[in-house]
Chain A
Amino acid sequence: MSAVTRPLPRAQVRTASPRKTLRLVLRYSLLVVILLFAVFPFLWTLAIAVTDKSAGVNIYDFPASLFPRHVTFQNFVQVYQTFELGKYIWNSVSITAMMVVGTLLISALAAYPLARFRFPGRQLIFGVIVATLVLPGETTFIVNTLTLKGLGLLGTHLGVVLPTVAGAFGIFLMRQAFLAVPASLLEAARLDGAGEFTILTRIMLPLSRPSQAALGIFTLVTSWNAYFWPMLVLSATPDKMPLSVAVLKLKGQFNYDPFNIAAGALVMMVPVLLVFLLAQKLFMRGLDGAVK
């Protein structure tokens, strides 16, 4: 059982003393302070994005710009129509979905032997994988675009996903998660005649759900916000570009409309936050039902 899911036993709750209430108040105060620290730029972006710009508002007029008097969704509509966001949103969804699924699969597959088997070459392979985190990646794009060209994958979503789907981070994270599974469970399963693949899918994966959820979220966020690599791969097929590249257009030299920029930024941010809110259940759920 995790430290998180079970509520306090009845007995303790009943003895709620003033001290306990004080602690609760303190806790929530602290949480609120941290909250303000975390979200103040977001609040400002939100405020500007819904501001009715025809009222002649000055966005740098702090703190007045945080509380717009005239609110509208017109900025979002304008951005959506002018920049044809629908198409780009679909591209982002497609690329991100492939990335998340691919990363989860490949990381889990690779992490299992690295965590549980002592096969020859294990240390070397693990070392090499960690090394990729450290080696300079600034010039890898040159070679990768040429490789993709050779494979005929330039200008495709698959070409955007393949080079980054197998990442050291994911393998590392899943390996940590797998290491935490008690050996006794695996012994029992093997004694019961379960094959390795069954062990992976029936025991390891369910037990490492929180880490998977975390990996999924990270991959989702990174992929959704990535613009350099997709821009490079898709530069000849702009219709396939993801949203992250399309919103760059909002900030050109002649395009300086801060209300639209804010609206565009929110369109980028809000879907991810919603997914995060929903996915929390996944990595907070704990091990109920998985332990036999």
Chain B
Amino acid sequence: MKLKTLLLSAALIATPALAWEGGPDRDELMKEAPNPAWNGFVLAGQDTTEIADGLYAFRYTGTRSIFLVTDDGVIATDPVSVEHARRFRAAIAEVTDQPVKYVVYSHEHWDHAIGGQVFKDEGATFISHENCAKHFADLPHPDIVMPDVTFADDYTLELGGRSLELLYFGPNHGDCMVVMRPDPGDYIFIVDLVTPGGAPLGFMPDYSPHHYVRTLKEIEELDYKAIIGGHGALVAHPSAVTERRMYLEALMAAVRSARETGQSNIRETVRLPQYEYLRGYEDRIEDNVRRMQTYYGIGW
């Protein structure tokens, strides 16, 4: 796999366009879990990185989108916010004069879906899983552009001889999440389902835990070499998916077993010391436990 680092050229021409993000070296990020390098990501400012030929990641503060440049235009992903989208559009213009022809939503949550108007204004077609459209209609947001094209299962978007595969695994984090696989298929773009080296958000909004585990197992079966994360490390070894899946399985087993043995005070007593190294573990484990108590208690 070849990752271009254009830090030197960027410094020479004094424009802030293309640089390998100021985080750890790519070789460090590509080591297997547990990998402390995954905690070294940058949150300040923004950056654009060419990850493979024509495949770029754009990050502004803590959230990342990818875009794919083709001879017939650009495929962009999550606009994230009005400000993110404005900067994202400018960053794309640093790389190519091609128009943005498509915007693909990873899922329905506002912290990824807001802000697409700047792309709509230039005529982009918006694409999402059909279940996202239901959420957008159910809870409208003035800064969300409704999808023009929806699909019910996997979907392949083709443009200028390139393609972006949208892989749908059913309900997991919400029920319209897609994992994206650009052509060529060395990378997959994963939003929220995996944050390399981190514990999941305590309250796990909108997650269906056993479908989440199932989805991660199915992703582990895919053929690819690295993930690009919607949050956290720019790229990571596929074992980041396995690490998250094993954490969830350990969490669910521990809570289930504590419930079955009638243990009291589960929230304070169930802990996973083998995963203390995960970023955010201390802050999140109690809420993670509480979430699984709810799951086993009321099926939510």
Q: Do A and B bind each other?
A: no
Could you tell me which B residues sit within 8 Å of A by CB distance? none
